[in-house]
Each structure stands twice: as C-alpha cells, then as structure tokens.
Amino acid sequence: MLKKIKFTTAIFVFIFINTSMAFADPCAGDPICYDPGYGKTNFSNPFHYVFVGAHPDDELTIYPLMKDFCSESNAYCAMLIGTKGRTGCDSGISASDCADERENELHNSAKYLVSDVWLYDLPGGTEIASPSPTMAQIRAVWNTKAAEAGFGNMVNFFKQKFTELKAPSSSLVVFSLHPSHGSTGHLAHRAMGEFVSAAIDSLNAEGISVSKFLIDTYLDQGEDYVEDSFFRSYGSASAVCRSGDQFLTVTNTGKTNYQVFDWGYDVIYPGQKFHEGENNIHSNKYKFCYE
C-alpha cells in the first residue's frame, strides 16, 4: 500500500504553477519555519509530504509513516502546526513555559523525521473560551486570525501554503486529522481537518492536484483503554491499517511501526506522559490507519 501511495503521488503531478515560484524553498528566510539542518530537507526533491496538525505532538498519530517517507533520498517533508499548545501542559507550568517546552519537543521531532516545520500561534483551548470552546468558536476565531493576517480565512491560508509547498515538478501528499473525528475527537483537530480538506478540495477543483490522506490511531492500554475508532465506527471500507509489529517498508526497515511510535512518545515528546500517562502499550496493541 505504501508503494500505491507513492504511485498515487506520481500521477498527481502538476507540471506548472508559477515559474517565479520554481523550487524556491519556502522555509528559507521564513522566521516561523524551523529547518532541522543537516542539509537533508531538499525542497527540490520530487515527492513532497506534508502533515497538518493542531498541536505539537499531533504528528505522533502517523509517526511511522512520516518516518518512512521523510527518510527517503527523493522526499521533502514539512509539518504545519496551528497552535503552540500553551494550555496543554501540567498546571504547574506557565502558559509561556508550556509553549516553549512543546516547541522544543516539536523541533526534536522535526530533527528525527528530517522535516521542516511551521509552528503558528493560533489561540487554542481556554485561550478561545473557558472551560472549552465549541467547534463554531474555534472556526470563528481561527478564521478571524487568518483574515487579520491578510488571507481572508483559514481555507485560503492553506490553499496558499499548499501551493507554496508544491513545487512545479513535484507531487504533494497531505496527511490530515479527520474532520469528522480528529483522531481522539479533539475539536481543534476536527476544525483543522475541516479547513485542510476544504482547501485541498478547492485546489483540486482548480486543477492543482494535491493528494489527501486522513489519519487515525488505535491504542489499547488495557484498563486505561483508548480507542480512536473512526474507521470502524463509520465503516470506512477504504481505510488501510498497519499494526505495531509490522516493519517500515521503504526506509529504516529494521524498525517496527511501534518502535518508531514509542520513540516519539517516550523520547521526543516526554510531555505525553502528562496527556496520556506512561506508555504501557504493547506493540500488538498499537496501529495507525489512513485513507
């Protein structure tokens, strides 16, 4: 199936967008973008993969697939993260320190994946409404912020960003949290998924081909049971799931999906212990899905 995705990206090549944008690295000179260095994030590579999430650590939902693709010599990877997650740390940490902690974790994740990352500062959680915002409130506040920045709304922002990240002779695949479920049902995940899906649908309608994959994760922690089961609940026949015991198929083939996820959970994102507790998940109780 991973080869099928690669084939899909190959047939979705948009030959010419704008000659003035040809192979111009959008991360270069952008103060919002973090380049992990090593000379490995080569924007001129033909296969471009982008993950879009609401918070630092959201990429863990599909960490093995990103690690597999981003390590390829002909790939370019980027992450777009909407908020700094400043309300998502232990109550003993200030919002400012929380944002710094999660940004540092995200940078470490970018180094591990070999991916550029744009970290934005949209309001989230109680910054929008207390004790928690509704979907309508999240949409309204984020659209207002996009308008203030000159994009009109979030959909237009993503359309411009995806166009920048799709070089004229490259393909672009976007991995997004599902707008109907968000992987864990988090409203910010769902709102971000809505904006991303609408932007890609609009670009495709305009003749700019972008491939979209919606993602989900399944964890079974015994008594502390967490099941992100969008694909089973909604009966998606096209979903593809990969188990924790399976090995990566393109690069790093000596590592299992679970080993990559576990490294991200325990080493890259130690703040996860605040969110989910210790990682006591056995490798055969983990899998991720995409469609």
Both tokens of residue 158? 């993503």
pLDDT at 163 over 50: yes
Element (H, E) at 81: strand 75-81
Bigger pLDDT: 84 or 220? Answer: 84
The predicted pLDDT at position 49 comes to: 97
Q: How confident is the model at residue 46 (pLDDT cuts 50, 70, 90)?
A: very high
| pLDDT at 233 exceeding the cut of 70 | no
Element (H, E) at 227: strand 226-227
Looking at residue 167, its pLDDT comes to 84
Residue 8's pLDDT band, with cuts at 50, 70 and 90, is very low
CB atoms within 10 A of CB 84: 25
pLDDT confidence of residue 170: 87
Q: Is the Cβ–Cβ distance between 279 and 272 less than 8 Å?
A: yes
- 171-177/211-219 β-pairing: parallel
Q: How many CB atoms sit inside 10 A of residue 100's CB?
A: 15
For the residues 128-138, what does the mean pLDDT come to? 94
With contact defined as beta carbons under 8 Å apart, do 214 and 178 qualify? yes
pLDDT class of 11 with cuts at 50, 70, 90? very low
Q: Look at residue 23 in the predicted model and tell me its pLDDT.
A: 59
Comparing 26-35, 46-55, 241-250, 276-285, which segment has the lowest mean pLDDT? 276-285
Separation between Cα atoms, residue 47 and residue 27, nearest integer Å: 17
Distance CA 269, CA 57 (A): 7
How far is residue 93's CA from residue 104's CA, in Å, rounded to a whole number? 15
Minimal CA–CA distance to 214: which of 253, 259, 183?
183
For the ranges 90-99, 101-110, 216-225, 264-273, the lowest mean pLDDT is seen at 216-225
Q: Which candidate, 252, 280, 269, 230, places its Cα nearest to that of 109? A: 269
CA distance 264 to 57: 9
Domains annotated for the chain, with CATH where assigned, are 2-290 (3.40.50)
In angstroms, the Cα distances linking 28 to 33, 103, 159, 197, 263 are 8, 19, 20, 26, 29
Angle at CA of residue 19, ends 34 and 21, nearest 5°:
10
Q: Which residues contact 180 (CB under 8 A, 6 or more apart)?
A: 190, 193, 230, 234
In contact, 155 and 203? CB cutoff 8 Å: no
Q: What is the pLDDT of residue 158?
A: 98
Higher-confidence residue: 132 or 90? Answer: 132
- d(CA 158, CA 134) in angstroms, rounded, equals 22
Q: Can you tell me the distance from the alpha carbon of 166 to that of 188, in angstroms, rounded to the nearest whole number?
A: 25
Mean pLDDT, residues 11-30 taken together: 54
Helix count (H) and strand count (E) of the chain? 9, 9
- This prediction has a pTM of 0.86
CA distance 50 to 174: 5
For tokens 């970018």, name the residue: 110
